[in-house]
Chains A and B, each alone.
Chain A
Amino acid sequence: MFRSPRLYLTKVFIQIFLRNRQYIFFSLLLPIVILGIVGLNDGESNPIEIGLVDNSSSVISENFITKLSANHLFNIVESDEETLRKELIKGDLMLILVIPEDMESHDQTTNIKLLVDKSQIQFIESIKPILNQALLNIEREITKEEAMFDLTIEDVKSRSQNYLDFLLPGIMAFMLMNLSIAGSGFNVVEFRRKGILKRLFVTPIKPIDFVSAIVVARMIIVLGQLTAIFGFALLILDAHIIGSIMHLYLVIIIGILMFLTLGFSIGSLAKTQESVGILASIFIYPQLVMSGVFFPLETLPEYIQPIAKILPLTLVADAMRSIASDGLTLFQTYLDLVGIGIWAVIGTLVSTKLFVWKEVAG
């Protein structure tokens, strides 16, 4: 077995990887920790800590406070403004409601002051509607007015999914990117620097033998790593996959291929080990923020969104999420797949153009 140089080289690359226990351990640690933190959370969202200053002490304000306290979304801490402000700054409170002295009449609109920490603005924007709704309900109860509308939210996708299920495909996509880039770009630069590439190419193997060996070896390694993470999420954390696992793996395989070619491009661009690290960071970190893996794309500024939508990680994460969470088939994600294909072609062109095989000597 393994008589062909290509297969033998593939075997050796896998062997080298398997012997690097430390690398295996740490490459799995990060995603497992992230998934563990999310997955072991009981799924109940913590009540929002709200400070309350009652300057009025009227019947209305007391009524208001009782109603607000009854809402399980909020945890009300009553105190004077001075103390609460300190707690807000410390981060123990999300916001402070200040009820003015004149909250005693039904006839006039009472202006409730909201004190916030501006750095939490994103979060506050998202809970403001909830707060507004709560206030409105309380008002109705107090004024005994019947609501004209009521809103029942029904999930059209009607699935039993939690945050972990949302996060899992994204984390897998992110891992897939990291591991593929590290496995191609870094390897090539390291082999070139040490003169190993040159040593290999004084034997009759062809560049295509080397590249295909490294691609196949990395494919097997990354699939193994992802399967470990996947198994952990499904078996230990009880995550759910709606769509076909086979389709999910096909996306993963195509995604690994794309990131390997992009990794080769980075490895070909970089002259030294230091610059490959920086180039890889430039490639990886903006995508971490802009790909919708951890934060929804909608939170990004308008002008970035079109770019964010065509980033390699966005495409892979989107295709994986469509299958894993929304139960789409591989073919329904064709737009993502076309995008991934285009990136793979770009990666192949850049790396073959820049990587001058004859001059592997450097």
Chain B
Amino acid sequence: MIINASNLVKRYKDPDDKSKSFNAVDRISLSIGAGEIYGILGPNGAGKTTTLEMLEGLKDIDEGSAFINTIDVKQDPYKVKEIIGVQLQANEFFDNMNLVELLRLFTALYKKTNDPVNLLKKVNLVEKAKANTNELSGGQKQRFSIACALVNDPLILFLDEPTTGLDPQAKRSLWNLILDLNKSGMTIVLTTHNMEEAEHLCHRIAIMDYGKLIAEDSPNNLILKHAPNKVREPVQGNMEDVFIALTGHGLRD
């Protein structure tokens, strides 16, 4: 297992009553194998992002333990950061710098070398090499954000709601990118609100609510277990298929 977390707890002060505290993440245990695409689902405020940020060494772990590629996150957060790539929900960058310069900066922060044009090729943004991030569309920004997460050739890629706010074309293009990266051997941990995305991409899914892990299995097993009687494959498509059929599969940005 490349990620091993047991009984993770993140405690926050109650905003209504400062004397009380609550567990935003409440005894979460995760084991994720190398080469897996692992999805974390759950409503807003369920603790998905906090869980990721504890694994990434961004937030302190209040209780429990986490090991990434056998490195203890609590002991050695900086060593963990060397081998992971992270795409955050907010993806703003410095103004007045173009994509190539930003990628060079992020590469330098890892004391590594990596060809920025190559990275842009991976995410299909070569023609925007000299553009600033504020000239990118939502989908392009997300793809660039992933390019930034790849500068250190990470073993594990963390994606926090990578497709939120994207149009169907951009979303599908991003799915293909994620599948390609996974094929090259990268372990991917992502959070999402999009059930179709979870079903399409993930080998295994964890469902979180109120800071607790309430279910974990492959998409298929989860469906068999929790929604066996529903018609699984509708005869006709859904609205998204209509949209794609009418506007085409080609990526718009």
Residues of A within 8 A of B (CB): 2-5, 8-9, 12, 15-16, 19-20, 194-196, 198-206, 358-361
Contact = CB atoms under 8 A, between A and B. Distances in A.
Given A9-B105, A361-B53, A203 B110 contact: yes
A198 B78 CA distance: 14
A198 B90 contact: yes
A12 B152 CA distance: 19
A205 B151 CA distance: 14
Contacts of B108: 2-3, 5, 8-9
A343 to B, nearest CB: 30
11 contacts: A9-B105, A12-B94, A12-B105, A15-B96, A20-B95, A195-B90, A202-B58, A202-B86, A203-B109, A206-B78, A360-B58
A57 B56 CA distance: 94
Contacts of A5: 108-111
A196 B60 contact: no
B130 to A, nearest CB: 14
B143 to A, nearest CB: 16
Q: Is the interface of B mostly helix, strand, loop or mixed?
A: loop
Interface of B: 53, 56, 58-60, 78-79, 81-82, 84, 86, 88-97, 101, 105-106, 108-111, 148, 152
A203 B59 contact: no
Contacts of B60: 358
Given A199-B90, A204-B81, A204-B109, 20 more contacts: A5-B109, A5-B110, A8-B105, A8-B109, A9-B109, A15-B101, A16-B95, A16-B97, A19-B96, A20-B96, A195-B91, A196-B94, A198-B58, A198-B88, A202-B56, A202-B58, A202-B88, A203-B109, A204-B78, A205-B109
B59 A358 contact: yes
A216 B96 CA distance: 20
A15 B105 CA distance: 12
B91 to A, nearest CB: 7
Contact of A204 (B53, B59, B82, B89): B82
